[in-house]
Chains A and B, each alone.
With several copies, the nearest count.
Chain A
Amino acid sequence: MKKPAAARARKAAPAKKPSAAKSAAAGKRAGVNDDIGADTRLELYRLQYEIRVCEKKAYDLFLQNLVKGTSHLSLGQEAIAAGFAGAMKPGDKSFCTYRGHAHTLARGVPMEKMLGELMQRDNGLMRGKGGSMHLTSEEHGVMGSYAIIGAHLPIACGAAWRAQYLGHDDVSVCFFGDGTTNIGAFHEALNFAKIWNLPVVFVCENNLYMEYTPIGDVTAVEHPAADRAPAYGLPKIIVDGNDADAVYRVAQEALEKARSGGGPSLIECKTYRHSGHSRADPGAYRPKGELEEWLKRDPVKIYRERLAEFGIKEAQIKKIEKAIDEELDQAVENCKAAPLPPEEIMTTDVYADGGWAWRN
């Protein structure tokens, strides 16, 4: 993955409420004194575009019954994955949920490896053994995707503890949804991270829904993560999760804080998923017009427009898109052609000796 320029983040102001924040800055930006810069912007766009087209493809493949089991798309939430991955350094660790395609791709995992796993083929990241909810690529710092709500928050603490103990300078970043803020492990992890001053960043992607239930129906506070931050001695941080630049800046700051011994952060990103929760969920529980409102703030669309505002040429953008489109087509072909996982791997890697023997 190309690394964005190491521009220092500005103090991130909490985003306005998404409905009000609508490209407030359009036309006002100047390319010159910009803190992010063209290279990074192109990279942030590239990541968002890759996630967008790959997720759409995953959905098509699901409808064709080529993606098996389940799949949880991040359509509409691309800016968060891109903004964080853009700010993370190679050794940093990502901990994801079942909705982990975006973060996995953003850390540099090839689309083919990810789609192969969704299609449960032998070319998949885990050769089909884990499936879409458990994407893991340690070589890219993707330390696993966890499908039981809450578990990976304490696990991310542990990875951060190791960094602190060994004097490594990597940061663990843990992504989760709004619904996850109501489970016990959230509470335990946040308190633990703070008292041990761990280099971990907790990122809540508040897409307004659990599976089908609006988060507001079941949460005692308005901002499910941010309003809990003071309970762990942490500042309240809210960011517009549909604005990759805003996410990038907040991410830079939190990562830098963690890396320099400043301890954990909890960041709430306001966003929306364009698709249903999983599989073919039509999202019928959404009030009419809600999706349409959010589509106006489509992160990929607004970011593409912003590139133009910052003077980036359409040809440059097109080139990036084309490369990804081609890679994706090839990835799909390769996955379709890939064999199923061989039967013998069914019992491998239960234990460290490679096998599953529980007896002699």
Chain B
Amino acid sequence: MAELTYREAVARGIAQEMRRDENVVFLGEDVAKAGGVFKATVGLYDEFGPLRVRDTPISEQAILGAAMGAAMTGLKPIAEIMFSDFLAVCFDFIANEFPKSRYMSNGQTKCPLVVRTGNGAGSRFGAQHSQSVENWAMMIPGLKVVAPSSPADVIGLLAASVRDPDPVIFFEHKSLYAVKGEVPDGEILDTLGTAKILRAGKDATIIALALMVPRALEAADILARDHGIDCEVIDVRSLVPLDTQTILGSVSRTGRLFTVEENPRLCGWGAEIASIAADECFYDLDGPIVRITTPHIPLPAADNLEDIVLPTPQRIVQKIVQSMN
């Protein structure tokens, strides 16, 4: 056991996989010599050298295109897109190339690669550097989509993503990089498509992702202590594949579903889960499904404004209390 930051976990996860498999290569802007703008890839260049850890120009389409071509022909590339907002400048690869070539070629083409990207708000960077865009990937058939909330999950899910034969979009939360957590020694390998019940409860199910996970847990503590409401908290971890069994199982037990989403509201991942629950466990529901999200607005830069637009433990508590009464 060691205590690592989420940031250190990224580097350790990549290193673990690069040591295991020589075909794992890594590319992105400022990722090699400088160790990444979030310092999440420090040490990799020194250990694996300039042929496996490569700095690129500011050419996101070339980064993802090159990753795809390499993946199709035998390598296992990990590509970094510095901020997830920049997925927009290379979205053709995300939406039209990675996820469709296998299908269109009737199974001839493979595309085993991982796109890592810094996602989410909290750094006061403003509307073009703070978005939560997991739904940009989730809505595209053929991708897998992962977003860990703890250092241990970072390593295990990153390893699973690298070993996965399909294209995986891996969202790291910028506001979690400095967060510490216990990490087992030795190789860590987790499983995509598995949600985790982090807190058992009988009155309501709260589903959260990434930065919203600690906030949901904090809210659950307050709800139990101050309001006598006993919430089950689930960390979705992987949006595709989606562990609907764990989610629907919980909702069936508790009868209530709340999602806590950092994304602006429309078509967020919570909408999809809500629609699944409203269909498949409708008769187990005891009350409305409520989504707690960032309002459907671009993000403000100012710290006091940014702090109030994202779901906070207080807002989660208030919404749940209001809806449960």
Chain A positions within 8 Å of B, measured between CB atoms, are 68-70, 93, 120-121, 125-134, 136-138, 143-144, 146-163, 165-166, 172, 179-180, 182-185, 188-189, 191-192, 195-196, 210-213, 217-219, 285, 340-341, 343, 345-354, 356-360
In the assembled complex, B180 has its CB within 8 A of some CB on chain A: no
Q: Within the complex, which residue of B75, B129, B241, B300 is in contact with A165, where a contact is CB–CB below 8 Å?
A: B75
Distance of A68 from chain B, by nearest CB (Å):
5
B interface, size bucket: 35 or more
Contact indicator A183/B60 (Cβ below 8 Å)? yes
Contact indicator A358/B266 (Cβ below 8 Å)? yes
Residue of A nearest to B239 (CB): A358
Contact indicator A285/B103 (Cβ below 8 Å)? no
Contact indicator A360/B74 (Cβ below 8 Å)? no
In the assembled complex, B318 has its CB within 8 A of some CB on chain A: no
Chain B 246-271 interface residues, beta-carbon cutoff 8 Å to A: 266
Q: How far is the CA of A345 from the CA of B59 in the complex (A)?
A: 36
Q: How far is the CA of A357 from the CA of B238 in the complex (A)?
A: 14
Using known A-B contacts A210-B58, A351-B142, determine if residue A346 contacts B309 with beta carbons closer than 8 Å: yes
Q: How far is the CA of A156 from the CA of B67 in the complex (A)?
A: 10
Contact indicator A162/B73 (Cβ below 8 Å)? yes
Contact indicator A346/B305 (Cβ below 8 Å)? yes
In the assembled complex, B29 has its CB within 8 A of some CB on chain A: yes
Q: Within the complex, which residue of B62, B69, B104, B296 is in contact with A358, where a contact is CB–CB below 8 Å?
A: B296
In the assembled complex, B298 has its CB within 8 A of some CB on chain A: yes
Q: Within the complex, which residue of A69, A185, A285, A360 is in contact with B241, where a contact is CB–CB below 8 Å?
A: A360
Binds A, one of B6-14, B93-101, B146-154: B93-101
Using known A-B contacts A120-B124, A151-B92, determine if residue A350 contacts B102 with beta carbons closer than 8 Å: yes
Using known A-B contacts A161-B70, A165-B51, A346-B309, determine if residue A133 contacts B65 with beta carbons closer than 8 Å: no
Using known A-B contacts A68-B302, A129-B305, determine if residue A352 contacts B112 with beta carbons closer than 8 Å: yes
Using known A-B contacts A151-B96, A184-B61, A185-B65, determine if residue A69 contacts B112 with beta carbons closer than 8 Å: no
Chain B residues within 8 Å of A285, by CB: 33-34
Chain B residues within 8 Å of A195, by CB: 57
Chain B residues within 8 Å of A148, by CB: 85-86, 88-89, 92, 96-97, 128
Q: How far is the CA of A184 from the CA of B54 in the complex (A)?
A: 20
Contact indicator B109/A136 (Cβ below 8 Å)? yes
Chain B residues within 8 Å of A130, by CB: 104-106, 126-127, 301
Chain B residues within 8 Å of A182, by CB: 57-59
Residue of B nearest to A349 (CB): B107
Chain A residues within 8 Å of B266, by CB: 358
Contact indicator B66/A154 (Cβ below 8 Å)? yes
Q: How far is the CA of A153 from the CA of B30 in the complex (A)?
A: 23
Chain A residues within 8 Å of B128, by CB: 133-134, 146-148
Q: Can you offer 5 A-B residue contacts whose CB atoms are under 8 A?
A: A143-B72, A151-B89, A156-B69, A219-B57, A349-B103
Contact indicator B66/A158 (Cβ below 8 Å)? yes
Q: How far is the CA of A276 from the CA of B242 in the complex (A)?
A: 42
Using known A-B contacts A120-B303, A188-B61, A189-B62, determine if residue A350 contacts B242 with beta carbons closer than 8 Å: no
Distance of B210 from chain A, by nearest CB (Å):
19
Contact indicator B65/A191 (Cβ below 8 Å)? no
Distance of A264 from chain B, by nearest CB (Å):
13
Distance of A86 from chain B, by nearest CB (Å):
23
In the assembled complex, B141 has its CB within 8 A of some CB on chain A: yes
Chain A residues within 8 Å of B61, by CB: 150-151, 154, 184-185, 188-189
Contact indicator A120/B241 (Cβ below 8 Å)? no
Contact indicator A157/B297 (Cβ below 8 Å)? no
Contact indicator A158/B72 (Cβ below 8 Å)? yes
Q: How far is the CA of A210 from the CA of B54 in the complex (A)?
A: 15
Distance of A209 from chain B, by nearest CB (Å):
10
Q: How far is the CA of A359 from the CA of B242 in the complex (A)?
A: 5
Task: A155-B97, A358-B242 given; name 17 further pairs at CB < 8 Å.
Answer: A128-B302, A129-B302, A130-B105, A136-B105, A136-B108, A137-B108, A143-B72, A143-B73, A146-B97, A154-B68, A162-B69, A184-B89, A195-B57, A213-B33, A213-B34, A346-B295, A358-B241
Contact indicator B73/A157 (Cβ below 8 Å)? no
In the assembled complex, B25 has its CB within 8 A of some CB on chain A: yes
Contact indicator A358/B303 (Cβ below 8 Å)? no
Residue of B nearest to A163 (CB): B73
Q: How far is the CA of A131 from the CA of B89 in the complex (A)?
A: 22
Using known A-B contacts A69-B123, A129-B103, A185-B61, determine if residue A157 contacts B66 with beta carbons closer than 8 Å: yes
Contact indicator A162/B74 (Cβ below 8 Å)? yes
Q: Within the complex, which residue of A136, A154, A347 is in contact with B64, where a contact is CB–CB below 8 Å?
A: A154
Chain A residues within 8 Å of B241, by CB: 357-360
Chain B residues within 8 Å of A352, by CB: 102, 110, 112, 164-166
Chain B residues within 8 Å of A189, by CB: 61-62, 65
The 5 closest A-B pairs by CB, nearest first: A158-B69, A154-B65, A131-B301, A128-B302, A69-B124
Contact indicator A191/B106 (Cβ below 8 Å)? no
Contact indicator A350/B142 (Cβ below 8 Å)? yes
**Which of A131, A153, A217, A348 neighbours the largest number of chain B CB atoms within 10 Å of its CB?**
A131
Contact indicator A131/B126 (Cβ below 8 Å)? yes
Chain B residues within 8 Å of A125, by CB: 106
In the assembled complex, B320 has its CB within 8 A of some CB on chain A: no
In the assembled complex, B244 has its CB within 8 A of some CB on chain A: yes
Distance of B194 from chain A, by nearest CB (Å):
9
Contact indicator B89/A150 (Cβ below 8 Å)? yes
Q: How far is the CA of A211 from the CA of B242 in the complex (A)?
A: 37
In the assembled complex, B304 has its CB within 8 A of some CB on chain A: yes
Q: How far is the CA of A125 from the CA of B109 in the complex (A)?
A: 13
Contact indicator B297/A162 (Cβ below 8 Å)? no
Chain B residues within 8 Å of A146, by CB: 97, 128
Contact indicator B125/A161 (Cβ below 8 Å)? no
